[in-house]
Amino acid sequence: MKEEPISKDEALDVMKGWQADERSVEVVIRFNEGLTQTHAGRLTVEPDGQVVVAQVINRDQYQTTLVDVSPFDSIRLLESMGAITFTDHDEPHRALKSVTIAVLAR
């Protein structure tokens, strides 16, 4: 599995491709305390560079995660798995450890 660093613009371009292809994704949020939160959904890249992963179950039940990619200092693409991981090594005491957005198999 080849993992390579990419820029924020490259990451947004990759995710725009996933959005255009209407690919389902899973967002995995890892916290420093060992807690991990995940959910699947559809991805939308907003014009301001924020990424939304949303799963609508019905009119009154839905899950959303909004990721602002701008504060992250490390973005890595795992191309063979269709995944991008955002981390911030400059803030070791931050509660958030990393965010991974991965394409789900069709």
Q: How many CA atoms, within 13 angstroms, populate the side-chain half-sphere of residue 79?
A: 6
Contact 24, 39 (CB under 8 A): no
Contact 78, 1 (CB under 8 A): yes
- Place 3 in a pLDDT band, splitting at 50, 70 and 90: confident
- End-to-end CA gap in the chain: 20
Render pLDDT for 24-65 as a digit per residue (tens, 0 to 9).
Answer: 999 999 998 889 999 999 999 999 999 999 998 898 998 999
Please state whether the predicted TM-score (pTM) of the whole model is above 0.85.
Answer: yes
Quote the strand ranges of 21-103, DSSP E.
24-31, 36-45, 50-58, 61-68, 74-78, 83-87, 96-103
Render pLDDT for 57-103 as a digit per residue (tens, 0 to 9).
Answer: 898 998 999 999 988 889 999 977 799 999 987 766 778 889 999 99
Question: The domain 3-103: what is its CATH number?
Answer: 2.30.29
